[in-house]
Chains A and B, each alone.
Chain A
Amino acid sequence: MYQSRNAKLTLGIIVPNFVSLTFIGISKFAVDLLIKIKTDDYTAEGGTTLFVFSVFFVIPLVMGITSAYFWKDLGFKNIRYVTWSLLNTLIAILMSAIFLKEGIICLIIVSPVIFGCIVSGAFIGKVMFRRKNNTLNSSIIGILLVIFSADLFSKHQYTNKVTDTIIINAPINKVWQYVVEYAPITEKENYWLFQVGMPSPIQSTVDGHCVGAGRKCIFSNGYTFDEKMIVYKPNQELTFDITNQPRDPEIMGHIDILRGQFILKDNGNGTTTVTGNSWYKLYVFPVWYFDIWAESITRNVHLRVMEHIKTLSETNV
């Protein structure tokens, strides 16, 4: 009796994780197939494919429902469903780190969604598999399969632009030199994701001062974004395309930074307004969740660089 109880509890953890790996494998296979049909929509730079909505919502829901199937005779209260689902989430996240080579920041970002959906699935499954449920709610599994299939075969393409502005108390020609390249940033990180290990920008270098010249944006972990200037108008505008981005697990297959831009405006009173723009393409869906993070991270990269430019410009006036 006791052994059977433990076996059901364990199966409620092992089987859902196996199911999730199978579904992720299917989604990867389907996306790989779609890449052969239409590369641009599905492949990030370096050939890594996108993660669709189903991976973060439908698969965890199915995991939760599968767990509930094995736990149905254990007489669990709601609170036990939450605690055991939490363990399931931790295992799923660990497996993502091992098999999908996900970085810690990505896992922090997705874990609330995964946990919420696994618990929801467990709650739904709890009622579905109740002995006194005469409807079984089997339509739910059908709906999930339809969503999963429709999601795989629907178009996934999303680009966005983030804009930030700062006023610097220095003349435009002073500001311009630090916009193009700047000495290492030594100020403490004040964005929580940078504090927990996400790389932050520390320096920018250039190999020329003209259109076509190369620029490098160096991050705190040593990774470098290679950039090529496409607009170089001293004291007005610097626009550059990203030609190569680091093969970092936090970035690879999730986001492509496409272009960066600084626009300077002389305010006529000894101050300068600097506008920073970045364009990126997301490969993780749904965008209504992941773009919140992408915007926040891009904004804080902007602000860290622009605050540094402000400090350098105002100190050396």
Chain B
Amino acid sequence: MFNITIKYFGFLKHIPLLPHLFDSFMKISILFSNKHTLDYIDEIENEVLSWNNTTVHLHKFGGIQFDVNKKEIGHIHSNGILDILFSREIKTQLIKQGKATEHHTIKNSGWITLHIKTDEDKITAIQLLRDSYSRKFTSPSPL
């Protein structure tokens, strides 16, 4: 459903609020199909926000985006799809290790995707986000 919508109606993502509405409806639908995914997202969100200088806001195409010092760590769509941007070398390694797959739409890039469905996926997601956080984190100068 998600992939079909992205493939054929992806151009609608630029209409203000529509991606957020779509994401919310995905969240409602996943409540009936795999409600644990929503708990995993809650837990990941709480974990990431416990790290220094992290912030959260709505992702422009629906879901929540985590930043550190205004750089994106990664974002999660409400159907449990985690997207993170790494370098292409790291992406290749992660895919080889089975920790992630090609990004669900942007293939020719460093973007990776992880479908969070189980407790193990949640742990992997936190590891990947932590890795991304470490790479993007630069300590702010003390005030």
Contact = CB atoms under 8 A, between A and B. Distances in A.
Size category of the binding interface on chain A: 20 to 34
A137 B58 contact: yes
A79 B38 contact: yes
Given A77-B39, A78-B42, A132 B28 contact: no
A316 interface: no
A309 interface: no
A215 B115 CA distance: 62
A3 interface: no
A144 interface: yes
Nearest to B39: A77
A139 to B, nearest CB: 8
Contacts of A147: 17
Contacts of A137: 57-58
Interface stretch (A121-129, A184-192, A246-254, A281-289): A121-129
A90 interface: no
Nearest to B20: A124
Interface string B35-79: 100110110000001000011111000001001000000000010
Chain B interface mostly = helix
A132 B17 contact: no
B38 A78 contact: yes
A79 B39 CA distance: 8
Contact of B58 (A79, A124, A132): A124
Interface residues of B, number: 24
B16 interface: yes
A127 B58 contact: yes
Question: Could you say which of A82, A116, A120 has the most chain B C-beta atoms within 10 Å of its C-beta?
Answer: A120
B64 A127 contact: yes
A135 interface: yes
Contacts of A143: 16-17
Nearest to A130: B56
Contacts of A312: none
Contacts of B39: 77-79
A144 B39 CA distance: 29
Given A123-B24, A124-B24, A79 B57 contact: no
Nearest to A131: B49
B24 A134 contact: no
Contact of A123 (B16, B27, B55, B67): B27
A135 B41 CA distance: 21
Nearest to B66: A132
Interface string B20-35: 1101110110010001
Contacts of A78: 27, 31, 38-39, 41-42
A100 B130 CA distance: 52
Given A77-B38, A77-B39, A127-B64, A116 B55 contact: no
CB-CB nearest 8 A-B residue pairs: A120-B24, A78-B38, A135-B57, A134-B55, A143-B16, A123-B24, A132-B55, A77-B42
Interface of A: 61, 77-79, 82, 116-117, 119-120, 123-124, 127-128, 130, 132-137, 140, 143-144, 147
25 contacts: A77-B38, A77-B39, A78-B39, A78-B41, A78-B42, A79-B39, A82-B31, A116-B24, A117-B21, A119-B24, A123-B78, A124-B24, A127-B58, A128-B57, A128-B58, A130-B56, A132-B55, A134-B55, A134-B57, A137-B57, A140-B17, A140-B58, A143-B17, A144-B17, A147-B17
Given A123-B23, A134-B67, 16 more contacts: A61-B17, A78-B27, A116-B28, A119-B24, A119-B27, A120-B20, A120-B21, A123-B20, A124-B20, A127-B58, A128-B57, A132-B49, A133-B57, A134-B57, A135-B57, A137-B57
